[in-house]
């Protein structure tokens, strides 16, 4: 075999070797790409699982915060109701105490009227005192204070205070109030002052 043929054969071998190297390199690249895809899929799966875990944690926190908000709202509603009831109770106490302090003034106005009528005072003067008395009674009515009915009513220890008794006269029933010595008053359902009465026996 000549030198020329040997060179051709060597070149041919070198070309074959280069082709094999390139082929091997392509295979390596394909393998690397496959590996990268596998790793990327793993990362994606891991991220999804982490997101799911975070979502579940957020749901738990949301439920806790919602429950806390509802509990606070319920407590606030209860506080508001209690505060409203306490305020109403204090208001009622204030009205009761104030009215009770003024009742003797009304008693004296009524006594003054009786005295003026007995002593034949001027009609103008009597009318003036009557107007003051009526104004006083109108204020009491606006405050939901009313006189306790007593005269001719059956004696009621929840409303009346008996200080004297007398024998029943004609058309008078036993245990009936026959005279009111001092008027009684109540505010709503609470007695401010019992009626001082005389009862038939």
The secondary structure of the chain in percent helix, strand, coil, rounded to multiples of 5, reads 70, 15, 15
For residue 197, pLDDT over 60 is answered with yes
Sequence ranges of the chain with CATH classification 2.30.22.10: 146-201
The confidence band for 124, taking pLDDT boundaries of 50, 70 and 90, is: confident
3 state DSSP class of 165:
strand
Strand partners, 199: 165, 177
Percentage of the chain lying above the pLDDT 90 cut = 50
pLDDT at 33: 42
146-201: which CATH architecture? Roll (2.30)
Q: Considering the entire predicted model, what is its pTM? A: 0.60
What integer best gives the mean pLDDT of the chain?
82
23-66 per-position pLDDT tens digit: 444 444 434 444 343 445 566 788 888 898 999 999 999 999 99
pLDDT at position 62, please? Answer: 92
pLDDT value of position 178: 93
Positive/negative CA dihedral, 90, 105, 113, 194: positive
Q: Between 43 and 74, whose confidence is greater?
A: 74
Specify the higher pLDDT residue, 138 or 173. 138
Q: What is the pLDDT of residue 5?
A: 58
pLDDT of residue 11: 54
Residue 79 exposed, middle or buried by CB count within 10 Å (0-12, 13-18, 19+): exposed
pLDDT at residue 109 in the model: 92
Q: Are 157 and 163 in contact (CB under 8 A)?
A: no
């Amino acid at each position: 075999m000549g030198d020329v043929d040997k060179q051709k054969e060597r070149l041919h071998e070198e070309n074959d070797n280069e082709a094999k190297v390139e082929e091997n390199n392509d295979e390596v690249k394909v393998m690397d790409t496959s590996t990268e895809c596998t790793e990327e899929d793993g990362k994606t799966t891991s991220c999804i699982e982490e997101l799911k875990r975070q979502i579940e944690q957020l749901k738990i926190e949301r439920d806790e915060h919602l429950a806390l908000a509802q509990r606070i709202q319920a407590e606030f509603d209860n506080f508001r109701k209690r505060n409203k009831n306490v305020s109403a109770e204090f208001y009622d106490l204030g009205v009761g105490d104030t009215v009770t302090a003024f009742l003797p003034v009304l008693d004296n106005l009524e006594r003054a009227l009786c005295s003026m009528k007995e002593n034949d005072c001027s009609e103008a003067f009597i009318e003036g005192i009557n107007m003051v008395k009526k104004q006083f009674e109108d204020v009491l009515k606006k405050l939901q204070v009313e006189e306790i009915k007593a005269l001719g009513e059956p004696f009621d220890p929840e409303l009346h205070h008996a200080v004297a008794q007398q024998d029943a006269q004609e058309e008078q029933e036993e245990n009936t109030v026959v005279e009111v010595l001092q008027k009684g008053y109540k505010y709503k359902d609470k007695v401010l002052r019992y009626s001082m009465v005389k009862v038939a026996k």
